[in-house]
Structure formats: C-alpha cells, structure tokens
Amino acid sequence: MLSFESDYTTGAHPAILQRLMETNLEAVSGYGEDPYCESAKEKIRVACECPEADVWFLTGGTQTNATVISTMLQSYEGVVAADTGHVNTHEAGAIEYSGHKVLTVPQHDGKIDAKELERFLEDFYQDGNHEHMVFPGMVYISHPTEYGTLYTKTELGQLAVICRRYEIPLYLDGARLGYGLMSRQSDMTLADVAELCDVFYIGGTKVGAFCGEAVVFTKRNTPRHFLSQVKQRGALLAKGRLLGIQFDALFTDGLYWEISTHAIEMAERLKTLFHEKGCEFYLESPTNQQFIILENEKMETIKKQVAFSFWEKADETHTVVRFATSWSTTEADLTQLAELL
C-alpha cells in the first residue's frame, strides 16, 4: 500500500545496505571500538567543522534524549522544553524515569521563544523559594520541531546566548536534522548548529538508517565515563559496527544531505499537490512532515489506499493528519497519491 505514514516505514538506504554487506565478514572489536565508528566520527567532525567534537552513536531517539539529558543534568536539575517537546509528551516518561523533571515553556509552532525562555530563567532565580524547586539545568529544543518547523539562525543564536549566560547547555534534538538543514527555508549549516549548541544529535533512524543517532558534544563537555553511563542505561550496542557503518555511509559523498534533499523535494511536491487539491493545511511545514486537515469522511475513504498518521482532532467533522516523506518516497508515490485525492 502507498504509505506516507512516517519517515521510518521502509528499511535503510541502499548505499547503507551495500556497506553492511561489504564489511560483513570483517572481524572488529565491539562496543564502538571499531574502525567504522572511528571513520564515521571523523567524517562527522569534518561535516560539523568542529575538530574537537566528541561523537557517540546510540540506537534511537528517546534513548538518546534520556541518555544525554540524564548524564548532563545534576540531580537537582530539570530540562526546559516546549510543552509540545518530544521529551515532554511522547517518550513515555523516559526523562522522569531517569529522575528529572521536564520544565515547560509555551510552544509557538513547536518552538521556544527566546524572550519567554529568558523570563522563565530570570523568574526562577528571583523566586525566593527556588531552592525548593527544580533548577533549570539544560534547554532542550528539537529542530525541526515536532510540527516540522525550524528555528532561524538568529533564533538559535538567541537561545544560545541565554543558555551561556545561565551556564546551562543548549541541547538540540536533531532526529530529523537533515530535513531541517536541507529545507528551502533553512539559513543554517551543520557547522552553525555545532557552534551554537553544546550538544545535539544527528538523526539516523528517520533519515535513511535502520537505526542510530549520532550524539555530538561540541564543547569538550562529554559527561565523564560516558561509555559506562551509556551501558548503564542499556544503550550500548555490542556490535557497535552496525551504527558506525551506517553513519560512515551517511557521511560519505554527502549521502545524508542527498537523502534529506530528496525528501524535502518530495515534501514540496506533496504541498503543491495538496494545494492543488484545495486541501487545508494545519501547518505548512518547511520540512518533510506536512499537517493537513481532512474532512472525516474523505479521510476514511483515502485511508483505504494510502497510509498516513492521525495527528489530532481538528473539530467534530475534521481531523489533522500527517503525511511524511523520506529517502524512499518516489515520484510514482506522488503521482499515485494525486490520483487518489
């Protein structure tokens, strides 16, 4: 069946599979101590224009968020996030499971507003009772956000300035970072992200890999004995090569950007197509996820021939649904969708 359900419905990009096959018989050490991990890390450092970056490979998004946040926070600290932030809503309480509170600020199209963040931090320290409260110890943002929206370089810079003033790390969840940076609206490079953030991750799972996220500590700020802490959280893969080889392939000959650009192109065509069909957008995102409002009856009809995600109820007779593109979306898929609509 035709599927725009998500960007993780198909397997891995063929170039990744190819590399897995080519390297399959080579015996290497486990736990990320292999030459593929080394090579991938070096390529990422180069792509980030950040020679001192410390790169680690984890398996999935929630695991990465919980690991990064819980190892960088002190016990008395929580992480500040938009109320719609993934860590606050759809990680089954993984952050709290690690003992830390998610402190929320209002979201605006999924984003945190710098002024509001500043006020939040100011208010905290001015509160006479703040020793009885959870200290804001980190700022979490996602880019693209849960709504597919993007921070401008100026906006990210403002958040970075505030974080540095309060001496707390700025952490960017880049589960779909490629789609963000390859968006036609993006005014940022990977090097900008590396410069402005203290830690971020480059998503693999949703950008063509079977699994895997590359965490980048940019300021010589890796938590001590990070490998042990990753292991302690059940996040250390024995065959670390599986992650290393995939990221090595993704950062060879610009594959990561190629995949991302392709998905963005498909998403732009999708947008055009929905516009042409007179569909209403809940949010016209600049990235690979599009949020459409469908009349319920129509939704039920097309559901039979194309998979998409339920997002939320719009009103009694309409529903917000999400269509996502990925490395494997083809022009044929779009043509077929056009026919369906």
How many Å apart are CA 237 and CA 220, to the nearest integer? 23
The verdict on 324 binding a second copy (CB under 8 A) reads: no
The verdict on 134 binding a second copy (CB under 8 A) reads: yes
The verdict on 236 binding a second copy (CB under 8 A) reads: yes
The verdict on 336 binding a second copy (CB under 8 A) reads: no
| Three-state DSSP class for residue 40 | helix
The verdict on 89 binding a second copy (CB under 8 A) reads: yes
The verdict on 20 binding a second copy (CB under 8 A) reads: yes
**Residue closest to 311 by CA, chosen among 286, 328, 290:** 290
**Alpha-helix residue ranges (DSSP H) falling in the chain:** 14-22, 35-47, 61-72, 86-89, 94-97, 114-126, 153-165, 177-181, 190-196, 226-232, 241-250, 255-276, 296-303, 331-340
Q: Which is nearer to a second copy, 64 or 149 (CB)?
A: 64
| Three-state DSSP class for residue 132 | helix
Print the binding letters for residues 67-86 with a second copy: x by CB under 8 A, - otherwise. Answer: x--xx--xxx-x--------
Element holding 180 (H helix, E strand): helix 177-181
**Burial of residue 230 (number of CB atoms within 10 Å: 0-12, 13-18, 19+):** buried
State which of positions 141-200 bind a second copy (CB under 8 A): none
The verdict on 115 binding a second copy (CB under 8 A) reads: no
How many Å apart are CA 219 and CA 34, to the nearest integer? 24
Find the shortest distance in angstroms from Cβ 30 to a second copy. 5
Q: Which stretch binds a second copy (CB under 8 A): 54-62, 180-188, 214-222, 290-298?
A: 54-62
The first and second tokens of residue 284, run together, are: 């016209």
The verdict on 90 binding a second copy (CB under 8 A) reads: yes
Find the shortest distance in angstroms from Cβ 63 to a second copy. 3
**Residue closest to 118 by CA, chosen among 85, 143, 155:** 155
**Cβ(87)–Cβ(108) below 8 Å:** no
**Cβ(43)–Cβ(35) below 8 Å:** no
Q: Which stretch binds a second copy (CB under 8 A): 141-149, 158-166, 233-241, 257-265?
A: 233-241
Find the shortest distance in angstroms from Cβ 101 to a second copy. 4
The verdict on 241 binding a second copy (CB under 8 A) reads: yes
Q: Which is nearer to a second copy, 133 or 191 (CB)?
A: 133
Q: Which of 49, 52, 93, 272 binds a second copy (CB under 8 A)?
A: 93
What 3 state SS string does 194-231 have? HHHCCEEEEECCCCCCCCCEEEEECCCCCCCCHHHHHH
Please work out the total of residues on this chain that contact a second copy, with binding judged by CB under 8 A: 77
The verdict on 275 binding a second copy (CB under 8 A) reads: no
The verdict on 276 binding a second copy (CB under 8 A) reads: no
Q: Which is nearer to a second copy, 235 or 283 (CB)?
A: 235
Q: Which stretch binds a second copy (CB under 8 A): 44-52, 97-105, 152-160, 272-280?
A: 97-105
Q: Which of 234, 316, 332, 339 binds a second copy (CB under 8 A)?
A: 234
Residue 332 DSSP symbol: H
